[in-house]
Amino acid sequence: MFIIILNVDFKIILNNNNNNNNKKVGISWKSKRKYFGDGKSFELCDLHNILNNTEINFINLQYGDVSEDKLALKNKHKIELNEIENLDIMNDFEKVSALLCNLDLLVTVSNSTAHLAGALNVPTILIKPKSYALFHYWSQPKDTSPWYSSIKMIDQGNNQSEFLKNLNLKILKELEK
């Protein structure tokens, strides 16, 4: 067991943004890796049925410029992700760490946020990369990682609607714990 001492208290920020006591779930849907990023990423709009759950506050934890993704989600599905003001997701690991530690769950693809959450023991659902972008640390026989005990993995498979249904069920199951 280890103790994390951080100078940022996101519990106050998250609670102020969470007046209805909804579960707090971080979401990250892209990898910026040059060669394998596409195989590890997916479109934010594909998650619209999951993100439309009014009992969950989904918080953007995607680094990089994703303004077009968020705008498409808003225009097509009338859904807006929660944002934490003045949070530099790409460069401020201390604040991102504090935020991760105050979430009920993180849903992410294989990227630096996934590794940070795993190192911090944050309950995480990792969407496994497609086969050509699958690295040894996610290529495990079960849905768990020997490196990060808090990460549960889910395979995208070939049927997107089945995958999204399974992802939604896995999110709800993890939030029941």
* pLDDT greater than 60 at residue 15: no
Cα 2 to chain centroid, rounded: 23
pTM: predicted TM-score of the whole model, two decimal places: 0.85
**Sequence spans of domains, the chain:** 10-176
Residue 81 CB neighbour total at 10 angstroms: 19
- Angstrom CA distances, 176 to 19, 62, 96, 119, 145, stand at 20, 24, 24, 22, 21
Topology of the domain covering 10-176: Rossmann fold (3.40.50)
Q: What is the pLDDT of residues 110-163, one digit of tens each?
A: 888 999 999 999 999 999 876 644 566 677 777 888 889 999 999 887 888 999
Percent of the chain whose pLDDT exceeds 70? 79
